[in-house]
Homo-oligomer: A and B are copies of this chain.
Amino acid sequence: MSLAQGQSAQIQKVFGPDEVAAFAELSEDRNPIHLDPDFAAQTPFGGPIVHGILLSSLLSGLLGQHLPGEGTIYLGQTLKFVRPVLVGEEVTARVTVAQVREDKPIVTLVTEVLNSQGQPCVQGEAVVKV
């Protein structure tokens, strides 16, 4: 496959209460900020928020299935959690090719998860082997 700087792939998803509860069990992360509407209502977020790592998990699927796609080996990821996402809010995850190395089969991609207003919620970079 030929990869060029600027190529991108994206996916939309809504993480509702059921998805967040399922992820809390998998990750053993049962922080009430994600699960308890009454507790979360008393925080500055105003309601339950999606785990940052659950948002970020969409990036992994994009890399392995869409860009670069099958056979991709995930070497590393940086993540900055810059804005919360409320449970039930639609998000868009996007990966964009930033650098294709000439000397090695290593590709760097800008990775981001945006809320329904297009504001960045998770920002970072992925490094993959193709």
Contacts and interface: CB of A to CB of B under 8 A. Distances in A.
Nearest to A75: B81
Interface residues of A, number: 34
Contact of A78 (B27, B52, B78): B78
Interface in A16-32: 19, 22-23, 26-31
A105 to B, nearest CB: 15
B76 A76 contact: no
A94 interface: no
Protomer copies: 2
A99 interface: no
A26 B19 contact: yes
A74 B81 contact: yes
Contact of A80 (B53, B60, B75): B75
Nearest to A24: B61
A31 B70 contact: yes
A57 interface: yes
Nearest to A43: B71
Nearest to A84: B73
Contacts of A58: 27-29
Given A23-B26, A27-B60, A76-B81, 6 more contacts: A26-B26, A29-B58, A53-B53, A53-B56, A74-B81, A76-B79
